[in-house]
Amino acid sequence: MRRFAVIGLGRFGQKLAIALAMSGAEVIAIDKERDQVELIRDQVAHAVRLDSTDMEALRSQGIDKVDVVTVGIGQGTAQGFQAAVLTVVNLRQMGVEQIYARAESLAAGEVFSKVGATEVIYPEIESAERWAYKLIAPQIGEKIDFAPGYSLARIEAPASFGGRTVMDLQLRQKYNVNLVLIKRNSEAWGRKTERDSIINVPAPDTIVQEGDILMIAGSDADLARLPQE
């Protein structure tokens, strides 16, 4: 079982710690405020009140032996930002190999990277970008980013795709995207199992029906051009 420490139990830290614990991980939740620690105590393996700028206090809880530490200390004040930076420095000096630091700005993220964070999380920026894309391309149900600007997207086949073959749709020629997989509605097509409803690497003569779930790969810009109706 992987062990995680989440330092800073604001909204981001609390949700992260609980999600990790629900996934079966062992989680140590840390904050300097007693109220924040009490809120999460029954939902993680261990919750403790301490000052993360104190390296010895961190060592006393075995933080130097966990697999991953996430620093999510609030940065609304100069003191909060300084505490977050010093915590990252402490973790690096203790030999923690994976340190994720939550940053509220790109400038803050650069500082965290320079002092030892192995990964910087920008929840506000990333959330805004996801919502912007969702507003621009509402036909995209969800997507998995596999390179900057490129994704594997899940869309429901619109009415204009219904009854047409993969060749007829000409997705590559018209939109510069690739159809990777089709998931049929098992009941509508008389499929007995979930596995029977999957068409892996559809052939040119495969017929697409309205409501099919299509997994399509391409650039985010090209995926956004796919029809909604």
Q: Which domains are present in the chain? A: 3-122 (3.40.50.720), 133-223 (3.30.70.1450)
Give the residue with greater pLDDT, 200 vs 88. Answer: 88
pLDDT of residue 2: 86
Report whether pLDDT(187) > 80. no
Q: What is the rounded average pLDDT for all residues in the chain?
A: 89
What's the rounded Cα separation, in Å, for the pair 10 and 108? 18
pLDDT of residue 195: 55
The token pair at 27 is 């989680």
| Position 194 confidence tier, pLDDT thresholds 50, 70, 90 | low
| Position 51 confidence tier, pLDDT thresholds 50, 70, 90 | very high
pLDDT of residue 60: 95
pLDDT of residue 164: 93
pLDDT of residue 109: 95
* Among 24, 118, 22, 11, residue whose Cα is nearest residue 70: 118
